[in-house]
């Protein structure tokens, strides 16, 4: 790099974007907390992390009557004297006069501070491998930019920001340079290659390969009663009835198919989906539930183009565009309203282009109307949709959206996260090049499978019929080596209490609050739950509450027979760890 | 010394290189906090939304009108120290307090700033750090009868347990102490002997089950809940009706007033960290009315924030002192950031993290001190800049919490209670 800069200086062919800006970014000058802030700092504003080189060039070379650079006496430039603290600088001393960035800035000013080089080249892409970042330019040249790139570890317990692995596991390092983003995966095994885990369908090929590579042994399969309870909680959001517990036949695939065919599957997945969409009105929620079995792409198309629900709750093009990004593409676009997304190649222009699809939508008296004119503006200029020419722009958006890879991947990732306890990409609505999936090929395969017919029940069934889904619960659940137990969600918990007690039980605020002391107190002392306790045999109580028969040990331990004793046992089962989790 | 890793964290997550250099110049904190800690408990009065430093503890009467605003300074027992005219009772007690006027942070967003000031760590996307209250609960135990970390009425964003996980989440009373206050589900619906039997049965059900291994948060909640249910004294602490009506009056009938009263009762009964979460300080418009006049929101009329704050905090300090609890109770009054020195066109002030004030009193805090000052317009600290981690380090020090202790995240990563942060020695008695 130093050599390249020296050569560049010698040939007087220095380029602001390629040779100057990276130093400012690396020094943090254009970070959000310094001159990259939306309002700049002390009258000097740069674009966030250098996403807008033209703006930055103008700010440096023209503003303040050009005093920031002094072409006559380059080393008198404010751009050099402030950060070296020869003059007062709120940001303190960020470089010394014998440093590489200082020399680069000085060389540029000496060369008359050009914006572009005489023979300008553009950065086309970057490539990152552990320990090295390479920039590729439009003339075919490349540079080692390792020292100028910004690097962040997604999990610094596993690896440092520079990619040095610290512990067993895997994570990715996000690399940013010149507005481009790349990710490098780094990690190491937990132990020597493990014996192969069982396989039930294609999903297991991907999961098992990773387990074996990372030296993780899979937990054994869970028993039938556990599988029944787990699959019912996941598919229909309810615990089994005593009858269902007593009729277990061990045919798990048939059980899954039967669950997916139940009407409660629609209710449960519909409300999960409504939650993800933030649907407020019961009518909207009901509509979503009615669409759970219909092809997902068609549902989203209708939601965007034909139905009013979404527009009745979000009457703002920006919010609508953000919803499309977050709910259907698993992307967070909000940041880009004000500045280019710092972790992603999604610019302000992209953001406004997405909003333009909704620019002419108006909701009047509960009906959607399209106006014939009207655009959103960015920097005073109207922004038009990036593609399409339909009179109703939303048609173009829906076609593009539902045909995109990201659409199917985002849905597949959400389904996987719901069933397996965490997404292949986490958080599920933060899918981006710099946050790669733990199992990229698996996510691709699930998405490809989903795209065949966009059937939600079929995708859910595929995951539930894998060996990975059916493992015993336990510690060491990295890469799905074991089932991760999750606390029951408040709504499901209330339903489970109602079923176990056979009474009316409403979800209370304390129950919905998540796993808190308030919830525990309510489960213990709430008059509602205590009023539903009825004495029954130990055997029946176990079946009703824990969806399994008691073991011999449990039967022997709970030997009391009087009514109060059995009611207290009922209470204890309802407050138990086993009842409160999906395991 | 700063290592390369911290340096990179900083440069990527927005810490400027200069910040990093500033950190690098700092000496390391002593690994073990002083053994003789000043305070047993802490009451944090959290002014959620960001109170204006220029309208509370850092007035600029000499500045142009668009900066100084409408409020006049009022005398305090300290020579040359003035605070807002709408805080007359607090002003009189300033000889018991330390006012910090040079708190400064780079975070101007409510959530990020709250994370920084409540945890002592800049926010990062990878991890949520535990708030001071949760760290205290981890340090002192979650409480065997009374929960050790309680929020009134609810917890603000980032006042939770972060990576310490659910067990150290605060117990939120979830009810407004100023109206029909009642904490739900504190009493068992069965007699003491049956509570004991239920407790034994539940332990047996959990022990005999092989379905799930320990669920740390839930297991701890069960223990705490039994402790609370079986202790009459602990339950009585939540009962404001036991308080003398005159004392209730003295704190004011406002939410913050009755919350401060409840906080005192809880601390008296043994709680270690109680946060009064007072909303409504995000004054983007009509700041004078919102702070000291009356204003309407919908059909409801509200009284300005300052008279209520004045009544509540002065009563709290006097009451603690009268009961001999002030020496063992640290009181901290602050919000996530200050507000823009220049009034905006709608008569409000926007977020301004570079200058902020905090009021400290009680357990181990110096009496009658002012630490730091801002420049003529209240824009930046003019001397003794104090970062959120410095203040958090000081609070931990006063509570006797060793900031060098490491806690583990769920993935097993060890993290210090605080990384960086220098004691504000001028605030120590």
Q: What is the pLDDT of residues B34-65, one digit of tens each?
A: 445 589 999 999 999 999 999 999 999 999 99
Tokens found for residue A368: 């959607």
- The CA distance from B278 to A192, in Å, is 55
Higher local confidence (pLDDT), A521 or B30? A521
Q: ipTM of the predicted structure?
A: 0.80
Which pLDDT value is given to residue A288? 97
* CA distances for A198 relative to A226, B176, B271, B357, angstroms: 18, 55, 51, 61
Q: To the nearest whole number, what is the mean pLDDT of chain A?
A: 90
Whether residues B175 and B196 fall in one domain:
no
Tokens found for residue A204: 């297991």
Residues in chain B with CB shorter than 8 Å from the CB of A553 are 208
- The CA distance from B152 to A367, in Å, is 43
pLDDT over 70 percentage in chain B: 90
Which pLDDT value is given to residue B195? 96
Beta strands in B167-272 (DSSP E): 171-172
Domains held by chain B: number: 2
* CA distances for A321 relative to A331, A353, A449, B76, angstroms: 11, 9, 27, 54
Q: How confident is the model at residue B150 (pLDDT cuts 50, 70, 90)?
A: very high
Look at residue B34 and give its three-state secondary structure: coil
Q: How confident is the model at residue A88 (pLDDT cuts 50, 70, 90)?
A: confident
Best CA proximity match to B401, nearest among B141, B35, B117, B28? B35
- The per-residue pLDDT for range B338-380, each reduced to its tens digit, is 999 999 999 999 999 999 999 999 999 999 999 999 999 999 9
Residue A407 has pLDDT above 50, yes or no: yes
- The per-residue pLDDT for range A542-563, each reduced to its tens digit, is 999 999 999 999 999 999 999 9
Q: Say if the Cβ atoms of B12 and A150 lie within 8 Å.
A: yes
- The per-residue pLDDT for range B310-331, each reduced to its tens digit, is 999 999 999 999 999 999 999 9
* Contact residues for B133 (Cβ-Cβ < 8 A; gap 6+): B42, B44, B149, B151, B159, B170, B273, B274, B275
* CA distances for A172 relative to A165, A226, A429, A432, B81, angstroms: 10, 35, 17, 12, 53
- The CA distance from A266 to A264, in Å, is 5
Does A427 sit behind a cis peptide bond, omega within 30 degrees of 0 on the bond before it?
yes
Whether residues B213 and B107 fall in one domain:
no
Q: Say if the Cβ atoms of B225 and A521 lie within 8 Å.
A: yes
Looking at the domain assignment, is residue B128 inside a domain?
Answer: yes
**Residue B198 touches chain A, beta carbons under 8 Å:** yes
Which pLDDT value is given to residue B29? 37
Which pLDDT value is given to residue A443? 98
Which pLDDT value is given to residue A12? 60
Whether residues B291 and B389 fall in one domain:
yes
Parallel, antiparallel, or unpaired: how do β-strands B149-152 and B273-278 relate?
parallel
User: Which residue, of B202, B237, B272, is where some domain finishes?
Assistant: B237
Whether residues B213 and B301 fall in one domain:
no
Whether residues B253 and B223 fall in one domain:
no
Q: For residue A520, give the nearest of B189, B206, B221 by CB distance.
A: B221
Whether residues B113 and B209 fall in one domain:
no
- The CA distance from A546 to A245, in Å, is 10
Residue A4 has pLDDT above 90, yes or no: no
Residue B25 has pLDDT above 50, yes or no: no
Q: How confident is the model at residue B125 (pLDDT cuts 50, 70, 90)?
A: low
Residue of A nearest to B22 (CA): A92
**Residue B319 touches chain A, beta carbons under 8 Å:** no
The CA-CA-CA angle for residues A563, A564, A567, to 5°, reads 85
The DSSP symbol for A165 reads B
Residues in chain A with CB shorter than 8 Å from the CB of B354 are none
Tokens found for residue A6: 């020296």
Q: How confident is the model at residue A334 (pLDDT cuts 50, 70, 90)?
A: low
Q: Are B194 and A564 in contact (CB under 8 A)?
A: yes
Looking at the domain assignment, is residue B324 inside a domain?
Answer: yes
Residues in chain B with CB shorter than 8 Å from the CB of A150 are 11-12
Which pLDDT value is given to residue A426? 85
Residue B230 has pLDDT above 80, yes or no: yes
Q: Are B232 and A577 in contact (CB under 8 A)?
A: no
Residues in chain A with CB shorter than 8 Å from the CB of B409 are 157
- The CA distance from A579 to A500, in Å, is 10
Q: Domain of B113: which CATH number? A: 3.40.720.10
The alpha-carbon gap from B10 to the nearest alpha carbon of chain A, in Å, equals: 9
Which pLDDT value is given to residue A335? 62
- The CA distance from A62 to B359, in Å, is 45
* CA distances for A453 relative to A290, A296, A329, A460, B183, angstroms: 18, 8, 18, 13, 52
- The CA distance from B56 to B46, in Å, is 14
Best CA proximity match to B129, nearest among B161, B167, B168? B161
The DSSP symbol for A18 reads I
Tokens found for residue B401: 């919490």
A 10 A CB-CB count for A247 gives 10
Whether residues B199 and B266 fall in one domain:
no
Q: Say if the Cβ atoms of A583 and B212 lie within 8 Å.
A: yes
Whether residues B101 and B131 fall in one domain:
yes
Tokens found for residue A504: 């009316």
- The CA distance from B110 to B333, in Å, is 17
A 10 A CB-CB count for B146 gives 23
What would the mean pLDDT of A93-104 be, rounded to a whole number?
91
- The per-residue pLDDT for range A113-142, each reduced to its tens digit, is 999 988 889 999 999 888 889 999 999 999
What would the mean pLDDT of B184-199 be, rounded to a whole number?
95
- Residue in B108, B116, B211 to test binding to A, most A beta-carbons within 10 Å: B211
Whether residues B318 and B360 fall in one domain:
yes
A134-151 exposure pattern, b = at least 16 Cβ within 10 A, e = fewer: bbbbeeeeebebbebbbb
Tokens found for residue A250: 């061990």
What would the mean pLDDT of A12-19 be, rounded to a whole number?
87
Which pLDDT value is given to residue B61? 96
Domain hosting residue B196, numbered range: 184-237
What would the mean pLDDT of B274-298 be, rounded to a whole number?
91
A 10 A CB-CB count for A169 gives 21
- Record the pTM: 0.78
pLDDT over 90 percentage in chain B: 76
Whether residues B301 and B224 fall in one domain:
no
Owner of token pair 């309870």: A229
A 10 A CB-CB count for A340 gives 21
Whether residues B133 and B50 fall in one domain:
yes
Owner of token pair 């408040």: A490
**Residue A530 touches chain B, beta carbons under 8 Å:** yes
The CA-CA-CA angle for residues A148, A151, A154, to 5°, reads 175
- The CA distance from B316 to A543, in Å, is 54
Q: How confident is the model at residue A163 (pLDDT cuts 50, 70, 90)?
A: confident
What residue spans define the domains of chain A? 2-110, 123-184, 308-403, 487-582
Tokens found for residue B295: 């204003």
Whether residues B225 and B332 fall in one domain:
no
- The CA distance from B40 to B35, in Å, is 12
Looking at the domain assignment, is residue B8 inside a domain?
Answer: no
Beta strands in B279-324 (DSSP E): 294-297, 300-303
Residue B15 has pLDDT above 70, yes or no: no
- The per-residue pLDDT for range A336-395, each reduced to its tens digit, is 666 565 556 677 888 889 999 999 999 888 889 998 888 888 888 999 998 988 999 999
What would the mean pLDDT of B209-234 be, rounded to a whole number?
89
- Which of residues 104 through 133 in chain B touch A, CB cutoff 8 A? 106-107, 126
Residue B139 has pLDDT above 70, yes or no: yes
């Amino acid at each position: 790099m130093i050599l390249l800069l020296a050569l560049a200086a010698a040939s007087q062919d220095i380029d602001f974007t390629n040779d100057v800006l990276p130093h400012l970014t690396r020094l943090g000058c254009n970070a959000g907390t310094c001159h990259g802030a939306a309002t700049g700092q002390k009258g000097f504003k740069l674009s966030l992390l250098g996403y807008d080189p033209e703006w930055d060039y103008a700010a440096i070379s023209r503003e303040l009557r050009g005093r920031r650079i002094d072409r006559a006496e380059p080393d008198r430039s404010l751009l050099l004297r402030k950060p070296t603290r020869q003059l007062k600088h709120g940001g303190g001393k960020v470089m010394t006069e014998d440093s590489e960035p200082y020399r680069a800035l000085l060389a540029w000013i000496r060369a008359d501070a050009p914006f572009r080089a005489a023979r300008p080249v553009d950065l086309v892409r970057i490539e990152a491998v552990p320990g090295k970042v390479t920039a590729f330019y439009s003339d075919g040249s490349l540079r080692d930019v390792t020292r100028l790139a910004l690097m962040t570890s997604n999990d610094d317990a596993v690896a440092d920001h520079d990619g040095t692995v610290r512990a067993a596991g895997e994570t990715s390092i996000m690399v940013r340079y010149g507005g481009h983003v790349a990710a490098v995966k780094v990690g190491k095994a937990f132990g020597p290659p493990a014996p192969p885990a069982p396989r039930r369908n294609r999903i297991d090929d991907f999961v098992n390969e990773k387990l074996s590579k990372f030296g993780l042994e899979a937990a054994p399969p869970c028993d039938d009663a556990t599988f029944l309870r787990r699959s019912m909680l996941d598919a229909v959001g309810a615990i089994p009835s005593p009858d269902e517990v007593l009729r277990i036949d061990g045919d798990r695939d048939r059980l899954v198919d039967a669950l997916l065919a139940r009407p409660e599957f629609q209710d449960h997945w519909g409300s999960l989906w409504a939650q993800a969409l933030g649907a407020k009105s019961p009518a909207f929620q009901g509509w979503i539930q009615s669409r759970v079995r219909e092809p997902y792409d068609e549902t989203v198309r209708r939601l965007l183009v034909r139905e009013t629900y979404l527009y009745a709750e979000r009457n703002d093009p920006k919010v609508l565009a953000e919803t499309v990004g977050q709910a259907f593409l698993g992307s967070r676009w909000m940041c880009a309203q004000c500045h280019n997304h710092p972790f992603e190649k999604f610019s302000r222009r992209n953001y406004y282009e997405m909003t333009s699809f909704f620019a002419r939508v108006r909701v009047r008296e509960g009906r959607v109307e399209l106006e014939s004119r009207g655009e959103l503006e960015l920097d005073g200029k109207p922004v038009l949709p990036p593609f399409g020419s339909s009179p109703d722009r939303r048609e173009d958006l829906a076609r593009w959206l539902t045909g995109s890879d990201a659409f199917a991947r985002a849905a597949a990732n959400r389904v996987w996260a719901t069933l397996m306890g965490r997404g292949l990409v986490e958080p599920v609505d933060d899918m981006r090049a710099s946050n790669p999936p733990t199992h990229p090929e698996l996510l691709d395969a699930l998405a490809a499978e989903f795209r065949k017919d966009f059937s939600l029940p079929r995708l859910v069934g595929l995951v539930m019929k894998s060996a990975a889904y059916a493992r015993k619960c336990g510690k060491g659940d990295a890469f799905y080596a074991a089932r991760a137990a999750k606390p029951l969600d408040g709504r499901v918990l209330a339903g489970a209490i109602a079923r176990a007690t056979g009474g009316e039980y409403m979800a209370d605020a304390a129950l919905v609050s998540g796993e808190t002391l308030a919830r525990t107190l309510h489960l213990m002392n709430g008059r509602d739950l205590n009023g539903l306790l009825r004495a029954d045999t130990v055997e029946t109580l176990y079946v009703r509450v824990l969806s399994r028969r008691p073991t011999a040990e449990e039967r022997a331990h709970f030997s009391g027979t009087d009514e109060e004793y059995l009611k207290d046992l009922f209470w204890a089962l309802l407050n138990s760890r086993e009842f409160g989790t999906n395991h | 010394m700063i290592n390369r890793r911290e340096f990179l964290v900083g440069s990527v997550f927005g810490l400027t290189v200069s910040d990093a250099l500033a950190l690098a110049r700092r000496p390391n904190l002593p690994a073990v906090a002083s053994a003789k800690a000043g305070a047993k408990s802490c009451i944090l009065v959290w002014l959620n939304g960001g109170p204006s430093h220029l309208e509370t503890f850092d007035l600029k009467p000499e500045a142009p009108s668009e900066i100084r605003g409408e409020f006049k300074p009022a005398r305090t027992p300290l020579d040359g120290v003035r605070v807002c005219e709408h805080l007359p009772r607090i002003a009189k007690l300033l000889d018991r307090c330390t006012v910090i006027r040079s708190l400064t942070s780079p975070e101007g967003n409510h959530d990020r700033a709250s994370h920084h000031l409540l945890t002592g760590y800049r926010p990062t996307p990878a991890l949520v750090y535990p708030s001071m209250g949760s760290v205290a609960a981890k340090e002192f135990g979650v409480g065997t009868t009374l929960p050790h970390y309680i929020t009134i009425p609810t917890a603000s964003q980032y006042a939770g347990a972060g990576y310490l996980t659910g067990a150290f989440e605060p117990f939120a009373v979830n009810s407004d102490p100023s109206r029909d206050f009642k904490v739900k589900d504190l009493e068992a619906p069965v007699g003491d002997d049956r509570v004991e039997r239920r407790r034994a049965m539940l332990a047996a059900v959990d022990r005999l089950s092989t379905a799930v291994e320990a669920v740390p948060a839930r297991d701890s909640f069960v223990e705490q809940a039994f402790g609370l249910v079986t202790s009459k004294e602990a339950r009585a602490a939540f009962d404001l009706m036991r308080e003398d009506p005159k004392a209730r009056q003295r704190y004011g009938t406002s939410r913050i007033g009755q919350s401060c009263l409840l906080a005192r009762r809880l601390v008296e009964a043994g709680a270690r960290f109680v946060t009064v979460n007072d909303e409504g300080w995000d004054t983007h418009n009509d700041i004078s009315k919102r702070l000291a006049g009356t204003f309407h929101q919908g059909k409801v009329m509200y009284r300005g924030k300052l008279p209520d704050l004045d009544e509540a905090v002065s009563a709290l300090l006097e009451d603690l002192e009268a009961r001999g609890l002030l020496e063992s109770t640290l009181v901290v009054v602050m919000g996530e950031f200050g507000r823009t020195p220049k009034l905006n066109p709608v008569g409000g002030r926007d977020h301004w993290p570079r200058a902020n004030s905090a009021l400290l009193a009680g357990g181990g805090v110096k009496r009658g001190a002012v630490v730091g000052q801002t420049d003529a317009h209240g824009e930046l600290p003019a001397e003794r800049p104090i970062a959120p981690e410095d203040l958090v380090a000081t609070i931990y020090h006063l509570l006797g919490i060793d900031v060098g202790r490491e806690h583990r995240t769920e993935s097993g990563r060890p993290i210090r209670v605080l990384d960086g942060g220098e004691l504000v020695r001028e605030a120590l008695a």
